[in-house]
Amino acid sequence: MQKQLVRVLSFLGVGSRKDCSHLIRKGLVTVNGKVILKPLDKIETDGVEIEIDGEAIDYREQYFLMLNKPLGYECSARPKSHPSVLELLPENFVNRGIQPAGRLDVETSGLLLLSDVGGFLHHVTSPRRHLVKTYRLQTSEAITEEAVQRLLAGVKLEDEEELIAAKAVERLSENEIKLLVDLGRYHMVRRMMAAVGAHVEKLHREAIGDLKLPDDLEPGDWRELTQEELDMLGYSEQ
């Protein structure tokens, strides 16, 4: 596809249009090995190789990422009291509008998906899709069998009309369970556990749909999703 060079650079998150025009006019941008000096010149984006000041930048229409969210990070782009997860990504990813699909609390770790494709963010978070999220959690007190049955039957949360039920509960130890839910409400898992009298001490998201957080992705690390992983999430481009 043919696009103006300045638009391509700002889309890639290199900077504002003004910054990108400046870089181009200074002769710092090469396209397929040739310096281009006019910001409005059109370039063919298919298979293009762009360098800025000798550094190659990937031309990509869209990004789909997974991050192993560490504890102590906020998912908001404008965090209040902790660093944002976006600080764990390259700056140009943030400039081009990559955002988390839904949120994990500051004190929750685990699988977080991010993208600059609105349709994908919606796909992952939409309650209508019923994508099941798997959480592993530890509580300060033993989780009784009655509590498990109540989670499965549904608990009443403040400001929610309907009962919120777990899709499944797997007991791992006296005070540790895996909880599968297909909704995403504010602090939902912590509030569900509080409703059955248990205080969550540790909360970790292990999977979204069939997509599991890989063992080799360390806290704070990210990588792109493969096509197979996008398929696992049931996402197909519109």
Residues in touch with ligand URA (CB under 6 A): 104-105, 108, 187-190, 203
Nearest approach in angstroms of CB 176 to ligand URA is 16
Which one is catalytic: 105, 210, 216, 221? Answer: 105
Cβ distance 196 to 39 under 8 Å?
A: no
Nearest approach in angstroms of CB 187 to ligand URA is 4
Task: Collapse the DSSP code of 100 into the 3-class scheme (helix H, G, I; strand E, B; otherwise coil) and give the result.
Answer: strand
Count of H-run helices and E-run strands, the chain: 7, 15
Q: What is the DSSP letter of 44?
A: E
- Residue number, 14 or 203, with CB nearest to ligand URA: 203
Spatial CA neighbour of 77 closest among 66, 93, 61, 60: 93
- Residue number, 160 or 231, with CB nearest to ligand URA: 160
- Residue number, 31 or 75, with CB nearest to ligand URA: 75
Nearest approach in angstroms of CB 162 to ligand URA is 17
- Residue number, 25 or 202, with CB nearest to ligand URA: 202
159 is an active site residue: no
Task: Collapse the DSSP code of 206 into the 3-class scheme (helix H, G, I; strand E, B; otherwise coil) and give the result.
Answer: strand
Instruction: Quote the CA–CA distance of 142 and 159 in Å, as a whole number.
Output: 27
Nearest approach in angstroms of CB 98 to ligand URA is 20
- Residue number, 50 or 179, with CB nearest to ligand URA: 179
Spatial CA neighbour of 102 closest among 194, 189, 12: 189
Instruction: Quote the CA–CA distance of 203 and 53 in Å, as a whole number.
Output: 44
26 membership: H or E segment, kind and range = none
Neighbour tally for 91: CB within 10 Å:
12
Instruction: Quote the CA–CA distance of 34 and 61 in Å, as a whole number.
Output: 22
Q: Residue 218 phi/psi, 5° resolution?
A: -75, 155
Nearest approach in angstroms of CB 169 to ligand URA is 15
Catalytic residues: 105
